[in-house]
Amino acid sequence: MDEIKVLSPATVANVVCGFDCLGFALEKPYDEMTVRRIDERIVRIINRDDFGLPTDPAKNVAGVALTAMLAKAGADFGVEVEITKHIKPGSGIGSSAASSGGAVVAANRLLGDRFSKLELVEFAMEGEKLASGSRHADNVAPCIFGGFTLVRSTYPLDIVSLDFPLLFVTVIHPQIEIKTAEARAILPKEVPLKTAIRQWGNLGSLVAGLAQGDYGLISRSIEDFIVEPVRKSLIPGLDNVKFASLAAGSLGGGISGSGPSMFMLSETREIAEAVELAMLQVYSKTQIEFNTYVSEINPNGVRFFVS
């Protein structure tokens, strides 16, 4: 096989009480990527969208991930990657992770699936390092593994796939820019032990609620005492969006990644669509442009596309 096409999904990281470790994959939006074997031992990037991302493989997240992977494999060939992004860069739903994650999953197929998913995450993390300056797996882990993932440890990398029940996600993406540096800078360096305990009690309970399919427990556990209180100043209307979404029947939610997108979880598609309507009503009163998405949790991550 000399050409592989994949659909690489958006992801939500920093899932409320699971800041810096818990994430999940969405069914949509997703990027379309075709990775093709070429004789030249190079990585060539072709962008088929209007985002104007770099085509120099050393400056492109998919490029650096693929370069690391081909080097590790000692491949005697190169790859050409055509990327049609639908996930807007800077949206907070894992745009860079979709690029690097999709690229390595596709190229791995060209290499006869020689690398494990965990190894693919390691390669894709090179892309995250380029995009954000930190080698984190919060988005690439759910992008590649699918479902809900917990990054237990980064060094050494340890990724836990969680059991979870049927869940629907409503995402709203306000078209504003959040500077990652600012979102990082306002985080506290230290937190009260008592607050940390409440947070880890919630995360443990959320994992249990997901495993047991206990929607009530999931709902009670989705509360972030540490990050949301400081970051919400960066996200216009967060409180109103949450309030209206909960009133529409959502289980709960919060900031996606470091924003500006927000997400809410619901038990049924009907509720998730009612939540979308509620978000729409809140945001149509602002001057800010926005997109919304309703999606199931994507259980498989990057998907091979057979045309």
Q: Which of the ranges 25-33, 64-72, 219-227, 256-264 carries the binding residues for its own copies, by CB under 8 A?
A: 219-227
Binding map of its own copies across residues 185-214, x = CB under 8 A, - = no contact: --xxxxxxx--xxxxxxxxxxxxxx-xx--
The nearer residue to its own copies, 22 or 66, going by C-beta atoms, is 22
**Rounded distance between C-alpha atoms, residue 99 and residue 85, angstroms:** 8
* Contact yes or no for 262/253 (Cβ under 8 A): yes
Q: What angle do CA 27, 97, 118 make, to 5 degrees?
A: 95
Active-site hit among 126, 128, 228, 276: 128
Binding map of its own copies across residues 162-181, x = CB under 8 A, - = no contact: xx------------------
The nearer residue to its own copies, 194 or 285, going by C-beta atoms, is 194
The nearer residue to its own copies, 233 or 307, going by C-beta atoms, is 233
260: cis peptide before it, omega within 30°?
Answer: yes
Only one residue has tokens 């096409």, namely 5
Euclidean distance between the first and the last CA atom of the chain, given in angstroms as a whole number:
14
Structure token pair of residue 86: 């639908």
In the complex, least distance from residue 189 CB atom to its own copies, rounded to whole angstroms: 6
The nearer residue to its own copies, 179 or 184, going by C-beta atoms, is 184
- The reply to whether 180 belongs to the active site is yes
Residue 204 φ/ψ, nearest 5 degrees: -60, -40
Binding map of its own copies across residues 2-41, x = CB under 8 A, - = no contact: ---------------xxxxxx-------------------
In the complex, least distance from residue 306 CB atom to its own copies, rounded to whole angstroms: 31
In the complex, least distance from residue 170 CB atom to its own copies, rounded to whole angstroms: 24
Find residue 43's DSSP bridge partners: 79
- The reply to whether 122 belongs to the active site is no
Binding map of its own copies across residues 133-162, x = CB under 8 A, - = no contact: -----------------xxxx----x-x-x
In the complex, least distance from residue 215 CB atom to its own copies, rounded to whole angstroms: 14
The nearer residue to its own copies, 160 or 234, going by C-beta atoms, is 160
| Residue 202 burial (CB count, 10 A) | 20
Dihedral sign from CA coordinates of 103, 109, 112, 113: positive
Active-site hit among 3, 82, 119, 180: 180
In the complex, least distance from residue 197 CB atom to its own copies, rounded to whole angstroms: 5
The nearer residue to its own copies, 101 or 209, going by C-beta atoms, is 209
* Maximum pairwise Cα distance, the chain: 59
**Rounded distance between C-alpha atoms, residue 120 and residue 128, angstroms:** 13
156: cis peptide before it, omega within 30°?
Answer: yes
201 by DSSP, 3-state: which?
helix
**Rounded distance between C-alpha atoms, residue 240 and residue 62, angstroms:** 36
**Rounded distance between C-alpha atoms, residue 118 and residue 289, angstroms:** 37
How many residues interact with its own copies (rule CB under 8 A)?
Answer: 41
97 binds its own copies (CB under 8 A): no
Only one residue has tokens 């509720």, namely 271
Catalytic residues: 128, 180
Q: Could you list the residues that contact its own copies (CB under 8 A)?
A: 17-22, 150-153, 158, 160, 162-163, 187-193, 196-209, 211-212, 217, 220-221, 226
